[in-house]
């Protein structure tokens, strides 16, 4: 079904803007209106991007694309000036790993003017080269962007829709994610504030108006947030917005083209040999693997073909293996600790028995003399120990232990030989 916006003829399918992932994963502090303008102007110029220097669109068509109902052109002029003067950084992250990669910077528009109800604008050659026929792209629905009311929601949607068809986005280091969301200049340094003011706002809006639902996963190291990623699901509650209306087969085909680099012929040959569920199974095995997430797989198309031929199965991830080894190590440490504690307790009982036998054989006078000696000794010890003795005498574990140590050191000939703990353990084992 075709719709017409003034001079701009569009249909539901053409509402998809293939925006280069480097431009999606750019860090900037664009406002909501500027983000919408960025997408709408590129959408309008895209068919003629390699051939023309200058592009134009009627103001009313532009307003409709970005959902701008005001007649106040001052705000639009301000937004256009921002696209000319604000530098954006792109290719901030590697698509598979979430890590910082090659860096570039540019203004979005080279020039812009409003004349007789028409917006006329130009791109630099650098931006044109980046934007046209991107080999890697995220499909952004132009009609949908007009529904966003916050820049954080739109920025988060652009950075997540790229991974539609996968289980989750890669991990984004927090400092890079802050840039992607347009949070700069020390704003919301406390993560609690960042979550409330930025993350929660973006997540709620994406889940309300877009075809995907996202669920943030936060990684902490020593209680400090270090990375974030998003689990992705289809939004079953989504209102029927004409996005791409792909069947499961078509969605998988798009994934094969965009992520694995399959040609149309390769897809036809693959579907001639294998059914849809089998292909999806192997795709999920690869995209969920540690190697894929870390960006270590070279030649994804060949790797998938090999997986289909040899019926690759899920293997334990390195993370799972590390967790297993950690659990085994912790169990061994626990067993070792429990054994040491049991040995220490048995040795303590052995020593106490020797000392109690010595005390039992003392006369009352000998006991009183021993206590007097100990009291003189304890006066030389810490004030805490002296206070405990004054309050509890020998009923406190610390003073009783000190008393036994005093006997071992000063009455060893009377007590009898008390062997070392090492010798005792060797004897009983």
The residue among 159, 126, 133 whose CA lies nearest residue 26 is: 159
Q: How confident is the model at residue 255 (pLDDT cuts 50, 70, 90)?
A: confident
CB atoms within 10 A of CB 270: 19
pLDDT of residue 149: 84
Q: Is residue 351 part of a domain?
A: yes
Same domain, 135 and 79: yes
5, pLDDT greater than 90: no
Same domain, 32 and 110: yes
Q: Is residue 27 part of a domain?
A: yes
Instruction: Write out the DSSP string of 77-122.
Output: HHHHHHHHHSEEEE--B-TTT--B---EEEES-SEEEEETTEEEEE
261, pLDDT greater than 50: yes
Q: Is residue 279 part of a domain?
A: yes
What pairing do the DSSP bridges indicate for beta strands 172-173 and 224-234? antiparallel
Number of domains the chain contains: 4
**Could you give the CA distance from residue 210 to residue 232 in angstroms, rounded to a whole number?**
12
Q: How confident is the model at residue 12 (pLDDT cuts 50, 70, 90)?
A: very low
Least confident of 152-161, 171-180, 226-235, 236-245: 236-245
Least confident of 158-167, 172-181, 350-359: 158-167
pLDDT of residue 219: 92
Domain endpoint, select from 195, 214, 239: 239
**Structural domain of 373:** 342-428
**What is the pTM (predicted TM-score) of this model?**
0.43
Q: Is residue 328 part of a domain?
A: no
What b/e readout covers 64-85, taking b as 16+ CB neighbours within 10 angstroms?
bbbbbeeeeeeebeebbebbee
Same domain, 127 and 44: yes
Q: How far is CA 267 from the centre of its chain?
A: 32
227, pLDDT greater than 60: yes
Dump pLDDT digits (tens) for 391-410: 888 888 888 888 888 888 88
Same domain, 57 and 122: yes
Same domain, 129 and 173: no
Tell me what the pLDDT averaged over the chain comes to: 78
More confident call, 135 vs 160: 160
Domain endpoint, select from 124, 141, 158: 141
Least confident of 51-55, 217-221, 291-295: 291-295
137, pLDDT greater than 60: no
Per DSSP, helices labelled H in 361-396 are: 364-378, 383-392
Domain endpoint, select from 199, 222, 239: 239
Same domain, 129 and 40: yes
Same domain, 26 and 75: yes
Same domain, 131 and 23: yes
**Could you give the CA distance from residue 230 to residue 203 in angstroms, rounded to a whole number?**
10
Q: How confident is the model at residue 3 (pLDDT cuts 50, 70, 90)?
A: very low
Same domain, 115 and 195: no
More confident call, 276 vs 20: 276
The phi, psi pair for 132, rounded to 5°, reads: -85, 140
Same domain, 258 and 220: no
42, pLDDT greater than 90: no
The residue among 170, 173, 176, 22 whose CA lies nearest residue 91 is: 22
Q: Is residue 8 part of a domain?
A: no
Same domain, 26 and 135: yes
Q: Is residue 377 part of a domain?
A: yes
CATH code of the domain containing 201: 1.10.10.10
pLDDT of residue 199: 94
Q: Is residue 7 part of a domain?
A: no
pLDDT of residue 240: 38
Q: Is residue 329 part of a domain?
A: no
Same domain, 254 and 169: no
Q: Mean pLDDT, to the nearest integer, of 353-373?
A: 90
């Amino acid at each position: 079904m075709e719709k017409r916006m003034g001079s701009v003829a569009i249909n539901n399918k053409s509402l998809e803007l293939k925006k280069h992932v480097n431009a999606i994963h750019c860090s900037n502090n664009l406002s909501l209106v500027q983000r919408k303008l960025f997408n709408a102007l590129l959408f309008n110029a895209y068919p003629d991007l390699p051939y023309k220097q200058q592009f134009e669109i009627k103001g009313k068509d532009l307003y409709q694309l970005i959902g701008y109902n005001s007649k106040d052109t001052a705000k639009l002029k301000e937004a256009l000036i921002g696209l000319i003067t604000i530098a954006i950084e792109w290719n901030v992250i590697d698509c598979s790993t979430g890590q910082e990669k090659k860096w570039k910077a540019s203004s979005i528009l080279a020039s812009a003017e409003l004349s007789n109800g028409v917006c006329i604008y130009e791109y630099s050659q650098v931006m044109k080269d980046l934007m046209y026929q991107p080999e890697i792209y995220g499909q952004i629905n132009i009609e949908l962007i007009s529904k966003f009311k916050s820049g954080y929601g739109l920025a988060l949607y652009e950075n997540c829709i790229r991974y539609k068809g996968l289980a989750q986005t890669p991990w984004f280091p927090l400092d890079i994610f802050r840039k992607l969301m347009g949070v700069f200049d020390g704003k919301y340094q406390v993560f609690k504030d960042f979550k409330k003011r930025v993350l929660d706002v973006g997540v709620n809006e994406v889940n309300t108006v877009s075809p995907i639902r996202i669920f943030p996963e936060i990684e902490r190291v020593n209680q400090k947030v270090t990375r974030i990623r998003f689990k992705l699901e289809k939004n079953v509650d989504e209102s029927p917005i004409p996005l791409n209306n792909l069947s499961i087969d078509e969605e998988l085909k798009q994934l094969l083209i965009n992520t694995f680099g399959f040609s149309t012929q390769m897809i036809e040959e693959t579907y001639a040999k294998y059914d849809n569920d089998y292909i999806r199974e192997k795709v999920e095995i690869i995209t969920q693997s540690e190697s894929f997430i870390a960006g270590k797989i070279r030649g994804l198309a060949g790797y998938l073909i090999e997986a289909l031929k040899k019926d690759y199965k899920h293997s334990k991830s390195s993370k799972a293996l590390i967790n297993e080894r950690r659990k085994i190590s912790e169990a061994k440490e626990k067993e070792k600790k429990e054994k040491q504690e049991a040995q220490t307790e048995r040795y303590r009982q052995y020593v106490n028995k020797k000392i109690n036998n010595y005390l039992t054989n003392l006369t009352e006078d000998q006991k009183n003399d021993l206590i007097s000696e100990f009291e003189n000794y304890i006066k030389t010890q810490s004030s805490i120990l002296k206070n405990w003795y004054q309050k509890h005498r020998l009923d406190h574990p610390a003073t009783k232990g000190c008393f036994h140590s005093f006997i071992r050191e000063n009455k060893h000939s009377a007590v009898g030989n008390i062997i070392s703990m090492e010798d005792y353990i060797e004897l009983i084992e």
